[in-house]
Structure 1
Amino acid sequence: MTPNADQSYDKRKRSINHNVDFKQKLSKAFTDLSFERKIYLVLLLTTAVASVANIFFESVEIEAKLKNGKLNRVLGLGWRTLSRKQDIADFEWTFWFSDLRESIIAALVGHVIISYFASRYLKPVRHTLQALYCIYWVRAALGPTFILIVVSYCATFYVVSALSKSRLMCWILTITSILLLHFDSFYMEVLPSTIEVDGTFLSLAYVSLGFVTLRCCSYAFESIDDRSSKKGQQYGFHRLLQYNFYLPYFFFGPVMTYDVYIDETMPTHSKDNLLNIFKEVAKTMAGIAVIDFLLHFVHVSSVALDLEYMQTGPVYVVGFLLFANVMLDWMKAWVLYGVTSNVSNVVDGYKRAPQGPKCLATICTFADTYFDRGIQHWVCRYIYDPVGEHHSNVTKETIASVLTFIFVTLWQGPGIQVIIWATLNCLGLTFEFFLGTITPQEDKSKKRLVAFILGLNYWCILLFNTVGISGMETARISAKAMFFNGSLWNFTVAVVLGYCYAAFITLSPTSKDKTE
């Protein structure tokens, strides 16, 4: 055989072996399940399939009602070849992946190309080139005045941190900047005059300024705390500008704290590295395809806003709608933050870059459900861990949780819906801390007790996050339909489904403490 034929044969052999290994792993994963966990899995999957079918037919009815003018809501154009309308009730997905899709792809592709060539041929000015490329996109999208606003933010935080060397002063400046962003009329007057487009880019400007504030605050805190010999090199004003004008995180997030930014490694663009990039791109495209399919065939967001259906629909479908809407929110974060984090990690060498959220289908505690891992790391590093210290004192832990959610509320905008969402999640997190002494032991009876508690806890997670996603009224009606309408059947079904889900996770031989 020729060398080329040998190589082709080896590739086919590796491909066959890979497929065989995957099938063996899949078969082993199912056979390793205990009989009890198989029952839970079959029951959950059956419920999910029945719920999807029910929601599909309800989606068809919604489209018919829209055509007849019986509903005020609208659906997008969707896929004309399949005669399917798109569910556009979810604002964030429409904002990021419909209105700004082409701009996001073009900006990230350009950043990858520039970073690749700069890391190979222009290493000393790599960060400067990245910053200049980001400034080009910021100017194109938001105008030159917005760039001056960002630079003024950087200059203010730099001067305050350098002169005062006080964390308190930096906190005052941070809170003031956030409050001005939400309440001051200055931005409402200045930004629209510099952004000659629709409200989409105006929303993008507010989101970007929020991220800029957190990055400047992170730089100030790290500058005050750092006493190393490299402080002069790492904390110059030019480094603060490079840190802020880093395109993968400028518009889209998540927030990368400054200690992670300066702890970079020079990327190595090997074949394996490029292969990893293609793998992550393929995963992202698959995620987008799944979400797009759901938005066209199963209108979970619109159905969840149909309060009449949420009152009268089967209890298992109502529960699945709660799960599906929170899962959709998780998938948005996974796609968007996964893309930017992978670019930062694989292309630019930030190995500690914020990762995507933990899968909602594998967790049942409030501590794991914050989808923006960048914000989670930020508040833990600068609020939750310093106040809670070793997280062993109930009083300090409660104060740390309250302060954390107060700040998150201010940053996201202190509307009534956000305040209710933050309050409920803070109570849930505090409740989990009090239950920290209840841990799954080897005794399966104790694990089942924990599964019962975590099953109810998981319904609280879905309901509390529904407040922020679909509104207080949807969450209230859903809770009433499942637990408080006087129907023993509905209550039993909800408790059993929650228990099956939590028990499937908790009874795993490798499961860790779910209340840790």
Structure 2
Amino acid sequence: MAAKMELVELPRWEMAIYWFLSFASHLYSFYQLHIFSKAHEKSLDREVQLDKGFLIWGFRKDPTDFEWSFWCEWAWQSLIWSLIGHAVVSRVFGVYLPQYRKAFLTFYGMLAAWWLLGLRGMAVLMLHLSVSLAFAQLHNPAVSWGCTLLMLSTLHIKSLQDIQRDWYDSDERYYLLLFSSAVCSLRCVSFSLELCWNPLLVRHPTHHCSHLQFRNIRTFIMQLYNLTAYCFYHPLFYNGPIITYKDFNQQMEQPLCRVSLMWMLSRILRVFVWWCLAELMIHLMYMHAIQNNETYLNILPPWALGGLALAMVQFFYVKYLVLFGAVSVLVTLDGLEPPPLPRCVSIMYSFRAMWRYFDVGLYRWLIRYLYVPLGGSHRGLFQKLLSTAVAFSFVCFWHGCHDYLQCWALLNWAGVLVENAIALFLSSPPLHDTIVRFLSPQMQRRGLAFVSAFSTALLILSNLVFLGGIHVGRVYWKRVLLQGWSTIAAPMLGFLYCFAQVGLDLDRKKELKS
């Protein structure tokens, strides 16, 4: 909706109030959640076995966010050292043997993957790559998509999961293989479709066009090498963010640029600060342990209930600042342009903004390989509905297609459609002319923030379903919208209005800079 009108500046005193209320509501709700966490620390410890804290003396730590605990454990065990090794290899060969840098980075990435995943895990990944490339030779996007969906479905077959679990001495290594396979599937789609659309894009730069035939074994091997270099690029191998093959191929061929030591140290320090903030949150607030128990959700005081919702989505945001921020430093050092880091979820005032600015790499991937090929917004309303539905369905399937993911995808699809419908309605000539005639630009912006507050409420609800499950969304729906419509919902919408105004103001300043 913001795209249809010019965002004007509001009085400074008014924006100061919005900023103050936004920060104050966050801090106070977090404080109330902290009080609740400490009051129930013993019972939570019996249920989930809180870890011994190390960041703050005398505080315990909530270990129940699987993704954060998983990646932190692997980071200290091996990933930090393997990423440092990658940086050394890239710099040495980039300076002294630039023509062999891509080859040695590929070899290093495969060696690092073999070290953690073992020979069998490597065989599974190479099988996926080879099958995907073989089907891509048909130059049929539908066939390539069918191959990818089939391989993704094998990740959720119980018998195959049991076999792969038996390969490793811990479930953590199996999950590392699972995550790697899922991310590699996105890269296989990118490579295969780029090959279908433009075969010259995936040729070796020293080869001629006459070599681009499937029956030419040398060309197939070169294509497999390019796909392997793309998929096994070590900083992005396990968790992303996603870079399309077209961008990866073009940027990897460019010479390394010089990066100052101060720039690198400042980026590393920034990631460290984010990591400390994430650890501070799970030391002070046991939000993940609380949201797993519906009894606690039903007895949380209203402010603590709001604090839990904000803490869960903010921790998810800070977690991916760390996960994506750390590898983005290395990607930049290699001369590649990583996707922008996620935007703070508290200033996301629409479903469309959430998809566009949180995981930018995945958003660009979906637009290029799903939304636009299916027609997007250029072939009528029905085609737009279909393209959006297929994109959300694929994201749900890629994440595992559990019941809560289906609910989350449906909520997001409905949210995007409703926002588009409202934007279309407000921009219709009779209504738009009436709004412009009777409302000043400042009042138009306030009206936009008011409408966005409702969208933000539903956006947070959908994120709670994604992060905590259907039971969390059900409790919030019941306590906030059904039971607390006159006591909780109104103040909540007031604070969400302030959040939306802050987000709109930041977007306005960004537009002025650009």
TM-score, normalised with respect to structure 1:
0.86
Q: Indicate yes or no: 2:165 matched with 1:192.
A: yes
Query: Structure 1 residues 301, 100: CA separation in 2 closer, same or farther (over 3 Å shift)?
Result: same
Aligned residue in 2 for 1:36: 14
Q: CA RMSD in A?
A: 2.5
Q: Which residue of 1 aligns with 2:389?
A: 402
Sort the Cα spacing of 1:488 and 1:131 in 2 relative to 1 into closer, same or farther, 3 A. Answer: same
Matched with 1:266 is 254
C-alpha distance in 2 between matches for 1:32 and 1:499: 14
Distance across 2 between alignment mates of 1:490 and 1:413:
34
Q: What fraction of aligned residue pairs are identical, expressed as a percent?
A: 22
Secondary structure of the residue aligned to 1:93 is helix
Question: How many Å separate the matches in 1 of 2:152 and 2:313?
Answer: 27
Q: Which secondary structure state, in structure 1, belongs to the residue aligned with residue 53 of structure 2?
A: strand
1:301 to 1:420, Cα distance in 2 relative to 1, 3 A: same
**Correspondence for 1:356:** 341
**2: CA distance, partners of 1:215 / 1:365:** 28
Partner in structure 2 of residue 223 of structure 1: 195
Query: Is this contact kept in 2: 1:409–1:422, CA < 8 A?
Result: yes
CA distance in 2, matches of 1:140, 1:207: 16
Match of 2:58 in 1: 83
Work out the CA distance in 2 between the residues paired with 1:229 and 1:466: 41
Comparing 73-82 with 411-420, greater Cα deviation is found at 73-82
Q: Answer 1 or 2: higher relative contact order, Cα 8 Å, separation at least 6.
A: 2
**Structure 1 segment 323-362 matched on structure 2, within 5 A:** 323-344=310-331, 346-351=332-337, 353-362=338-347
Give ranges in structure 1 of 5+ residues lacking alignment: 1-30
Say whether the 8 Å CA contact 1:119–1:266 is kept in structure 2: no
- 2:64 is paired with a residue whose SS is coil
Q: What amino acid is aligned across from residue 160 of structure 2 in structure 1?
A: F
Correspondence for 2:152: 178
Q: Equivalents in 2 of 1:81, 1:402: separation in Å?
A: 45
Amino acid in structure 2 at the alignment position of 1:135? M
- SS of residue in 2 equivalent to 1:252: coil
Read off the aligned partner of 1:179 and give its amino acid letter: S
Other-structure match for 1:47: 25
Q: Is the 8 Å Cα contact of residues 33 and 307 (structure 2) preserved in structure 1?
A: no
Decide whether aligned partners of structure 1 residues 37 and 109 sit closer, same or farther in structure 2, where only a CA change above 3 A counts. same
Q: Partner amino acid for 2:336?
A: Y
1:129 to 99, 104, 111: 104
Deviations 1:382-402 (A, max 9, x none): 111222444573322211110
- How much has 1:360 moved relative to structure 2? 1.5
- Which residue of 136, 141, 148 corresponds with 1:167? 141
Counterpart CA distance in 1 for 2:119 and 2:507 is: 57
Residues 85-484 of structure 1: pairs in structure 2 closer than 5 A: 85-162=60-137, 164-183=138-157, 185-189=159-163, 191-195=164-168, 197-226=169-198, 228=200, 231=203, 233=205, 236-264=223-251, 266-268=254-256, 270=258, 272-344=259-331, 346-351=332-337, 353-370=338-355, 371-391=358-378, 393-437=380-424, 438=426, 443-484=441-482
Whole-angstrom distance in 1 between the partners of 2:100 and 2:505: 53
8 A contact 2:201–2:246 mirrored in 1? no
Amino acid at match of 2:446: R
Q: Against the structure 1 CA distance between its residues 486 and 297, is the aligned structure 2 distance closer, same or farther, given a 3 Å change threshold?
A: closer
**Match in the other structure for 1:21:** none
Partner of 1:156, secondary structure, is: helix
- What is the CA-CA distance between 1:509 and the residue it aligns to? 8.7
How many residues are treated as equivalent by the alignment? Answer: 474
Structure 2 CA distance, aligned partners of 1:300 and 1:76? 14
The one-character-per-residue Cα deviations of 1:97-154 (angstroms, maximum 9, x if unpaired) are: 1344331211111100000001011212111111111122211111112212222222
8 Å contact from structure 2 (residues 36, 304) kept in 1: no
- Matched to 1:82, the amino acid is W
Distance of 1:485 and 1:229 partners within structure 2: 58
Q: Which runs of 5+ in 2 are unaligned?
A: 1-8, 208-221, 428-434
The CA distance in 2 between the partners of 1:87 and 1:317, in whole Å, is 17
Question: Do the aligned partners of residues 303 and 222 (structure 1) sit closer, same or farther apart at CA in structure 2, a change above 3 Å counting?
Answer: same
Match of 1:497 in 2: 495
**Partners of 1:229 and 1:471 in 2: how far apart?**
42
Cα offset, 1:494, TM superposition: 1.6
* Counterpart secondary structure, 1:414: coil
